[in-house]
């Protein structure tokens, strides 16, 4: 059994407090239903615990491993629903493609939530809303150079957060 | 100073990476990048981040939903009871010398005893036997009231290995509350411990979807014996 394996109930509790908010947030975002998301997160931690001896932190982070399990859970949920249209309340795509795309979106959005408000604000205004820097600067009551520098530090902060989250290009 | 000069250029690099600079400014920045490896590396890295931005939806930048507090408790309770069941199994195997090829039979035997033997602390458990089943298939369950809802020990035998089983408890309003999923593995332990966030006293039925088949066992509310008359539902 590799050191750091998830064998104890305490290990699972720790893993839960560290990663459940993210897994749940993502599950809600991708499944579009909080009940289903709860089900998926519960199943993810149960499977993680059952397979806990196989988890090796040398190979990958706990977070990555949990997301990989969640991915299988979501696929199983989708299959089960596809097989039983009578029971399905809301359709989920059983395909994997949307999962990976949704995960990518969610990671960037989560990183955006974690950077400072000032940084997020200028990225939203200049990038997502495509507004001119001068206009944004006036609205914020700061020089245009400050908006530019916030854009720079905002992207840097985003990079750091994505790295912390174990994001791989 | 080189660093001060780079600081000025670097602050342009965000807008540069996003493609927001005027043509003139872009040309000036690129001229600097030609001669400055550090700024070039920084620009490349920021362009990498900028490329990811289209994947995000700015409408989602608000606070993410938090998992409900009872979710963690429910998971901990399920794992706790699964662990207890595991220990019990291990004790049995050790004591009776089961092993290897006899593992499946062992699991079945232990489960039968476990189901018939009742709970640990004398809490009223309810045993559910699905009687009307296809030939060779056995499904049974023990339901135990818990603070979080109901703990469910499922026992399945005789269905195709790898079949995904989904278990629900039907509430008084006819809605099915999920108790989770498990896979039937031939040759392995064919039981599973699950949990549903519904009080046993309020549950109307136990519903098991095994692959494409659906089995429903109506529960006798408050009963502790298996007086039920389970039936198979037509599934579409």
Mean pLDDT of A22-32: 89
Q: How many Å apart are CA B80 and CA A154, to the nearest integer?
A: 44
- From the number of C-beta atoms within 10 Å of its C-beta (0-12, 13-18, 19+), residue B126 rates as buried
Nearest residue of chain A to residue B214 (CA atoms): A84
Q: Both B33 and B149 in a single domain?
A: no
Cβ(B186)–Cβ(B161) under 8 Å? yes
In tens digits, chain B (236 residues) has pLDDT values of 456 678 888 889 999 999 999 999 999 999 999 999 999 999 999 999 999 999 999 999 988 889 998 999 999 888 888 888 877 766 655 444 444 444 444 444 444 333 333 334 445 777 787 777 777 777 888 888 887 888 888 877 777 777 788 889 888 888 888 888 887 776 555 678 888 888 888 888 898 888 778 888 888 764 443 334 444 444 43
**Closest Cα in chain B, distance from residue A59 (Å):** 25
Cβ(A32)–Cβ(A90) under 8 Å? yes
Query: Residue B157's beta-bridge partner residues?
Result: B138
**Closest Cα in chain B, distance from residue A154 (Å):** 8
Q: Both B107 and B158 in a single domain?
A: yes
Q: Both B199 and B160 in a single domain?
A: yes
Q: What local confidence, expressed as pLDDT, does residue A126 receive?
A: 97
Nearest residue of chain A to residue B49 (CA atoms): A159
- Predicted interface score ipTM higher than 0.85: no
Cβ within 8 Å, pair B61-A38: no
Q: How many Å apart are CA A161 and CA B73, to the nearest integer?
A: 29
Of A87, A113, A17, nearest in space to B63 by CA: A113
* Token pair 């499922």 in the structure block, residue: B154
Q: Both B29 and B88 in a single domain?
A: no
**End residue of a domain, out of B28, B43, B60:** B60
Q: Both B7 and B111 in a single domain?
A: no
Q: A84 in contact with B at a CB cutoff of 8 Å?
A: yes
Q: Both B14 and B124 in a single domain?
A: no
* pLDDT for residue A1 is more than 60: no
CA B106 remoteness from chain centre: 27
**End residue of a domain, out of B60, B78, B104:** B60
The tokens describing A164, both together, are: 């912390």
Q: How many Å apart are CA B88 and CA B39, to the nearest integer?
A: 63
Q: How many CB pairs under 8 A join A and B?
A: 156
Q: What local confidence, expressed as pLDDT, does residue A2 receive?
A: 62
Q: What local confidence, expressed as pLDDT, does residue B122 receive?
A: 44
Q: Both B124 and B7 in a single domain?
A: no
Nearest residue of chain A to residue B52 (CA atoms): A108
Cβ within 8 Å, pair A109-B181: no
**End residue of a domain, out of B19, B43, B60:** B60
Question: Using CA of residue A124, residue A127, residue A128, residue A132, what is the dihedral sign?
Answer: positive
pLDDT band at residue A168 using 50, 70 and 90 as cut-offs: low
Q: Both B53 and B76 in a single domain?
A: no
Percent of chain A predicted with pLDDT > 90: 50
Q: What local confidence, expressed as pLDDT, does residue B173 receive?
A: 84
Q: What local confidence, expressed as pLDDT, does residue B79 receive?
A: 87
Cβ(A123)–Cβ(A155) under 8 Å? yes
Range of the domain at B14: 2-60
Tally of structural domains, chain B: 2
Cβ within 8 Å, pair B75-A12: yes
Q: What local confidence, expressed as pLDDT, does residue B231 receive?
A: 46
Q: Both B56 and B164 in a single domain?
A: no
* pLDDT for residue A122 is more than 80: yes
Cβ within 8 Å, pair B60-A109: yes
Q: A120 in contact with B at a CB cutoff of 8 Å?
A: yes
The tokens describing B162, both together, are: 């790898």
**Closest Cα in chain A, distance from residue B97 (Å):** 24
Q: How many Å apart are CA A94 and CA A73, to the nearest integer?
A: 10
Q: What local confidence, expressed as pLDDT, does residue B31 receive?
A: 95
Best mutation target, B8, B10, B11, B14, to test chain A (most A CBs within 10 A): B14
Q: A43 in contact with B at a CB cutoff of 8 Å?
A: yes
Of B106, B110, B171, nearest in space to B140 by CA: B110
Reported as a single tens digit per residue, the pLDDT across A70-97 is: 988 988 887 776 665 544 444 444 455 6
The tokens describing A64, both together, are: 């990555």
Domains (range + CATH), chain A: 1-102 (1.10.1740.10), 115-169 (1.10.10.10)
Q: How many residues does chain A have?
A: 169
Query: Which CATH number goes with the domain that contains B13?
Result: 1.10.10.1320
Q: What local confidence, expressed as pLDDT, does residue B100 receive?
A: 45
The tokens describing B97, both together, are: 């010398």
Q: Both B50 and B86 in a single domain?
A: no
Write the DSSP symbol of residue B68. P
Best mutation target, B9, B59, B71, to test chain A (most A CBs within 10 A): B71
CA end-to-end span of chain A = 30
Question: Using CA of residue A53, residue A54, residue A59, residue A61, what is the dihedral sign?
Answer: negative
Strands, E assignment, chain A: none
pTM comes to 0.58
Q: Both B43 and B87 in a single domain?
A: no
Looking only at the bridges linking them, the beta strands covering B176-183 and B126-130 are unpaired
Q: What local confidence, expressed as pLDDT, does residue B188 receive?
A: 54
Listed in sequence order, the residues at least 6 apart from B7 whose beta carbon sits closer than 8 Å to its beta carbon are none
Cβ within 8 Å, pair B83-A148: no
Cβ within 8 Å, pair B10-A124: no
Nearest residue of chain A to residue B51 (CA atoms): A169
SS3 at position B182: strand
Q: Both B219 and B147 in a single domain?
A: yes
Nearest residue of chain A to residue B196 (CA atoms): A39
Cβ within 8 Å, pair B82-A49: yes
Q: What local confidence, expressed as pLDDT, does residue A167 receive?
A: 67
CA distances from A106 to A38, A92, B30, B67, B134 (A): 17, 17, 33, 16, 45
Q: What local confidence, expressed as pLDDT, does residue A84 receive?
A: 55
């Amino acid at each position: 059994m590799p050191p750091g394996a998830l064998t104890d109930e305490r290990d699972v509790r720790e893993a839960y407090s560290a990663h459940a908010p993210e897994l749940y947030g993502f599950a809600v975002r991708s499944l579009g239903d909080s009940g289903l998301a709860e089900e998926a997160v519960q199943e993810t931690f149960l499977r993680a615990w059952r397979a806990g001896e196989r988890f090796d932190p040398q190979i990958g982070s706990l977070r990555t491993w949990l997301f990989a399990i969640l991915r299988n859970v979501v696929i199983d949920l989708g299959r089960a629903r596809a097989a039983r249209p009578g029971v399905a309340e809301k359709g989920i795509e059983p395909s994997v493609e949307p999962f990976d795309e949704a995960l990518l979106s969610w990671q960037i959005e989560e990183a955006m939530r974690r950077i400072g408000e000032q940084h997020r604000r200028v990225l939203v205004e200049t990038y997502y809303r495509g507004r001119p820097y001068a206009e944004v600067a006036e609205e914020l009551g700061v020089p245009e150079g400050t908006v530019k520098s916030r854009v720079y530090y905002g992207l840097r902060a985003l990079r750091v957060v994505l790295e912390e989250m174990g994001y791989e290009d | 100073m080189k660093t001060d000069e780079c600081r000025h250029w670097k602050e342009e690099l965000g807008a540069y990476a996003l493609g927001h600079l005027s043509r003139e400014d872009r040309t000036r920045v690129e001229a600097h990048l030609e001669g400055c490896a550090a700024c070039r590396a920084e620009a490349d890295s920021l362009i990498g981040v900028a490329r990811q931005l289209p994947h995000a939806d700015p409408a989602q930048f608000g606070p993410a939903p938090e998992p409900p507090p009872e979710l963690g408790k429910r998971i901990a309770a399920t794992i706790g009871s699964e662990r207890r069941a595991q220990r019990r199994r291990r004790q049995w195997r050790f004591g009776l010398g089961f092993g290897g090829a006899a593992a499946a039979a062992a699991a079945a035997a232990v489960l039968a005893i476990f189901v018939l033997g009742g709970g640990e602390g004398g809490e009223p458990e309810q045993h559910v036997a699905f009687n009307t089943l296809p030939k060779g298939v056995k499904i049974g369950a023990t339901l135990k009231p818990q603070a979080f809802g109901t703990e469910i020990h499922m026992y399945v035998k005789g269905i195709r290995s790898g079949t995904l089983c989904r278990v629900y408890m039907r509430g008084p309003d006819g809605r099915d509350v999920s108790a989770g999923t498990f896979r039937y593995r031939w040759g392995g332990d064919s039981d599973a411990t699950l949990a549903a966030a519904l009080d046993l006293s309020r549950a109307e039925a136990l519903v098991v979807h095994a692959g494409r088949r659906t089995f429903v066992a109506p529960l006798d509310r408050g009963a502790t014996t298996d007086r039920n008359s389970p039936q198979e539902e037509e599934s579409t």
